[in-house]
Amino acid sequence: MAKVPVQFTLNGAEKAEFIDSGTTLLHALRDKIGDTSPKGGCHQGTCGACSVIIDGELRLSCLTLAEACNGATIITTSGLSERGVLHPLQRAFLDAFATQCGFCTPGMIMAAKVLLDHTPNPSREDVVEALSGNICRCTGYEPIIQAVLTAARSNSQNAA
Amino acid sequence: MELRKSYFADQRKDDLHEIGQPRPRSDSPGHVTGKTTYFADRNFPGMLHLKMVRSPHHHARIRSIDTSEAEKHPGVVKVLTAKDVPHNVYTILILIQIGPEDETVLADGKVRWKGEAVVAVLAETERAAQEAAAKVKVDYEVLPAVFDMDEALKPGAPIVNEYHGRNYYLYDSGECRKVRFGDVEAGFAEADHVLEQAYQSSPIEHAPTETTGCIVAPEGNDRFTCYTNTQAMFFTLDNASIILQMPGNKLHFVGGTVGGGFGGKVDVIVEPIAILGAKLTGRPVCFIYSREEEMQISSPRAAETVVIKDGVMNDGRIVARKVTGHTDAGAYSRHSPYGAQKGAGHYPGPYTIPNVWIDTYCVYTNRTPSSAMRGFGVTIGDFALEVQMDKLARLIGMDPLEFRFLNAYRDGDMKAHRQPTEGAALIECMQEASRAANWPVAEQFMAISSYAKGA
Ligand code: FES
Ligand code: FES
């Protein structure tokens, strides 16, 4: 099969790969580039485990073609902590016991980050809405919602 | 949360440092940074992908299997059928002497449920494996199927599983697990009221976010490393060793990181065939369920029916309880004979009843094999028992919590299956629940303890 070149910025680093045309971004990230933080829970757009941020927007990497990401800026959960210091969302998920098996966590954090980037002081309803595309089978969601609200509060305190 | 010092004061140590203290989970830092390594986060050069050809019928004889077109498909490396599996007929509980072996790794001559594995295709890419699987031709003669436990137990019903020869599991106690305690009929005769109710449940899927799967890598020395998300590591290793007729020291299992299990990952389903594929091709093999397979193929919690007949006195004492439970194993045993047996031990509930009669059956139907899920064998039973307790309380006009206090088991009480009660804490839990829920009960119930009566 003919290979196509793709090039994008992943968590601040330039990446270039030759891939099979039709390869999903999830597959390219995990199996070509080696960033396994996006997870494949369904490969059909229903679980949210593969969520990543493309040019500031929340996207499902299992439904995104890698070749459509040429020139894009992509962020994944593995790129959030800086020099070992956790992002406020990561800290809040840790402190609020918002992870159990952890399989949904990277996707949840992506969805929460896009929410807080757009809406720094979300209501509980905003959080529920923002996470509505992400399935968690373990936690019952409540600790995750609390973690996102806590992260929002700590962000606004830092900003103040 | 506060731990009341008054409970079990003479048995307690109060120098505990951890209880009641929040402590970070050791696995969370990996989860929030995306660094936790699940089995599928590994990639090996030259890794093959395995796809299963599955039965479209609930019950059918296999007349022939033609894999020739599939084998010619570009990218296909190996196609496996029943004859390739060294010990194809197995049952997982054989490790604890619960037989007979009744399930095939790959179907041989017959399929007994819709979705049963028939042929395994290994190819360079997932897509090639999928396309080749669609080219396998299986000629089926469809047989009558049975989906309902009552129907399955009727004389003349189609036999689901010839390895049992009858549509129920034969225990050493006969057609069901039995508990007999006191004289249940005398109890009913003496009771002021008798209440008989039937309860039933449907299969329940665990739906873990990470689907079932494994990756197997040959180590180049006849040894194979299996990265798996099984919840039952050694159980899987030992069963794989039997199925593959390979000594355990040739199998190296790596796991423990599970993206949600809930009991759905304790069956030995993906590992043996993936190891076999790696052995026969010399290449790493990935076998991971699609979301559809996870929902349709992996074992659910069994459907159950529970009939409870109770004799109760106007003063609130339950004097007789008779329970008949049926567990739908689907086409194969897996963990269900054990689940049904657990039910037999559990059914009187945490209550002391002088006259008890219990029968629990494990029944075979042409449904998806059921297996473990969170407290299987007792969870549905508890639902039925506690609904029944509420109904009994209503029947005699008693507060439902006080009714439970009155019948609660306490240390020293003999349970129906002849184990004396030790270390009971039901009364203390209910006292705390009464406070927490602001559901007051008579002072006398707040004054008793689980210690032996009169002590
Ligand atoms: S894997 Fe993309 S939504 Fe489930
Ligand atoms: S923590 Fe397991 S799916 Fe969310």
Say if residues A147 and A130 touch (Cβ distance below 8 Å): no
Instruction: Look up the CATH number of the domain holding residue A61.
Output: 3.10.20.30
Please check the confidence at residue B455 and state whether its pLDDT lies above 60.
Answer: no
Residue A21 neighbours by CB distance under 10 Å:
11
Among the candidates A48, A79, A110, a domain finishes at: A79
Instruction: Please tell me the pTM assigned to this model.
Output: 0.95
| CA distance linking residue A143 with residue A141, whole number of Å | 6
Q: Do both A8 and A61 map to the same domain?
A: yes
- Which atom of ligand 1 approaches the CA of A46 most closely? 3
With 70 as the cut, is the pLDDT of residue B3 above it? no
User: A65 and A108: one domain?
Assistant: no
Structural domain harbouring A25 = 3-79
Q: Which residues of A touch B259 (CB under 8 A)?
A: 39, 41, 101-103
Residue from B21, B25, B33, B210 whose CB has the most chain A CBs within 10 Å, to mutate: B33
**What is the average pLDDT score of chain B?**
95
Of A94, A106, A136, the CB nearest to B34: A106
Give the residue from A34, A61, A79 where a domain finishes: A79
Chain B environment of A86 (Cβ under 8 Å):
32-33
Task: List residues in chain B touching A: CB distance below 8 A.
Answer: 22, 24-25, 27-38, 40-41, 43, 206-211, 258-262, 290-291
Same domain membership, residue A105 and residue A71:
no
Identify whether residues A9 and A46 lie together within a single domain. Answer: yes
Domain boundaries of chain B, sorted by first residue: 48-142+207-296, 177-204+300-447
- Mean pLDDT of the region B74-78: 98
Q: Which of A1, A23, A85, A103 to mutate to test the interface with B (most CBs of B within 10 A)?
A: A103
pLDDT tens digits along B409-442: 999 999 999 999 999 999 999 999 999 999 999 9
pLDDT of residue A159: 65
Q: Are residues A69 and A135 in the same domain?
A: no
User: What letter does residue A30 receive in the DSSP assignment?
Assistant: I
CB burial of A134-159 (b: ≥16 within 10 Å; e: otherwise) equals bbbbbbebebbbbbbbbbbeebeeee
Q: Residue B355: how many CB atoms within 10 A of its CB?
A: 22
Looking at the structure, do residues A111 and A154 belong to the same domain, yes or no? Answer: yes
Q: A150 and A94 in one domain?
A: yes
Say which amino acid occupies A114: V
- Whether the CB-CB separation of B441 and B433 falls below 8 Å is answered with no
**β-pair type (A13-20, A3-10):** antiparallel
CATH of the domain at A144: 1.10.150.120
Give CA–CA dist B191/B185, Å, rounded. 10
Q: Residues enclosing ligand 1, CB less than 6 A? A: A 40-43, 45-50, 60, 62
Cα-based angle B217, B221, B224 (whole degrees, multiple of 5): 30
For residues A19 and A69, membership in a common domain is answered with: yes
Whether the Cβ atoms of residue A76 and residue A35 lie closer than 8 Å to each other? yes
For residues B247 and B5, the model is more confident at B247
CATH number for the region B48-142+207-296 comes to 3.90.1170.50
Question: Among A46, A79, A112, where does a domain finish?
Answer: A79
Q: Name the residue among B36, B40, B262 with its Cβ closest to that of A102.
A: B36
Same domain, residue pair A18 and A75? yes
Question: Could you tell me the strand order of the sheet in which B356-364 lies?
Answer: B177-181, B356-364, B318-330, B304-312, B193-201
Number of domains observed in the structure of chain A: 2
Question: pLDDT digit string (tens) for B142-193?
Answer: 999 999 999 999 999 999 999 999 999 999 999 999 999 999 999 999 999 9
Q: Note the CATH number of domain B177-204+300-447.
A: 3.30.365.10
